[in-house]
Amino acid sequence: MIKGEDNNMLERPVVKIAPDTYLVSEYKLVNMFLVVGKHRAALIDTGGGIGPLPEDIERLTGLPLVVIATHGDPDHVGGAGHFPHVYLHPLDWEHSRRFPLNNTMRKWFVKTRAPVRNPGNERKIDALVPRQELPQPEYLPLADGDVFDLGGRTLEVIHTPGHSPGSICLLDKKNRLLFTGDTVNVSMALTGHDFHEYNASLRRLWARESEFDSICIGHELPAMREKQAIARYISMTEIWCDCEA
C-alpha cells in the first residue's frame, strides 16, 4: 500500500489469482501479472510507470526476472525503464516510439483514465508519478512460437496483431491461463484497427481454446475472466468486417 496525500492508504491491488500467479494492478488503471516458475519469474507488462513496481515484484519473488510486454502502448511499457530490458515484438518497437514515455505522458494518463477506472483517487495517483524520469527502455525481440521456460512452467508467445501490429498473447498451459493484454479485454474501444486482421487473430486464439480455461486481461477488475469473451469479440469484429466490405 502507498500513503496518500490525505494520510489515507491508497491500495495498489496485488492479488494471487492462481498458483504462483499474481495480479499487480497499477492502481486499477492497468493490470500486470507476475508468473512464477521454479527457476525464474516473468512479469507480463509494466504499466505506465506509476508507483514502486520493482519493489512490489521483489516482495513477491526473489527469482531472476524476465519482463515481457504484450504490446507497445505507453500504459503497458511505461514502466519498462525500471528494468534492464523488456521483450517486445519488433513490429511494436516503432509503434512504442510514437508515444513519449515520460512523466508528462504519465500525468496525462492519470488525468484521462483515473476518473473512470479509479474515481476519487486521481490526485493520490498523480502524486505517485515519479519525480525523476525513468530511463528509456531497451527492447529485446520475441516472435510467434517463442517459449519462455520458467522452470516447470512455460509461457508460449502467440502473435495476435490487431490492437497493435506487434500485439501478443501468452499461453500458460500448465495453469490453463491465457494472458491477453489488450487483444481481448472488456472495455476497449476497437477503433482504427484492421478488423479483418484482428478477427483472424481472435480466431487463432479460439482455435486453441481447449488449452486454457480463463483469460487474464490488461484492464479492469477482476482481471481473470471467462474465455468466452474471445468468442464474443469474434462476433463483434465479424459485424464490423461486414460493414467495411
pLDDT reported for residue 193? 65
Residue 223 pLDDT more than 50? yes
Q: How far apart are CA 126 and CA 122, in angstroms?
A: 6
pLDDT reported for residue 152? 97
Closest to 2 (Cα-Cα) out of 57, 53, 78, 43: 53
pLDDT reported for residue 74? 95
pLDDT in tens, 17-29: 999 999 999 999 9
| pLDDT (average), residues 228-242 | 88
pLDDT in tens, 108-140: 999 999 999 999 999 999 999 999 999 999 999
pLDDT reported for residue 6? 38
Give per-residue burial for 45-64: e unless 16+ CB within 10 Å, then b: bbbbbbbebeebbeebbebe
Task: State the greatest distance between any 2 C-alpha atoms of the chain, in Å, as a whole number.
Answer: 56
pTM of the predicted model as reported, rounded to 2 decimal places? 0.93
Q: Which residue has the cell 484492421?
A: 194
CA angle 113, 119, 125 (to 5 degrees): 65
pLDDT in tens, 199-222: 999 999 999 999 999 999 999 999
Residue 2 pLDDT more than 50? no
Neighbouring CB atoms inside 10 A of 221's CB total 15
Q: How far apart are CA 140 and CA 66, in angstroms?
A: 11
Identity of residue 57? I
| Beta bridge partner(s), residue 3 | 9
Q: How far apart are CA 6 and CA 33, in angstroms?
A: 29
pLDDT reported for residue 240? 76
pLDDT reported for residue 7? 39
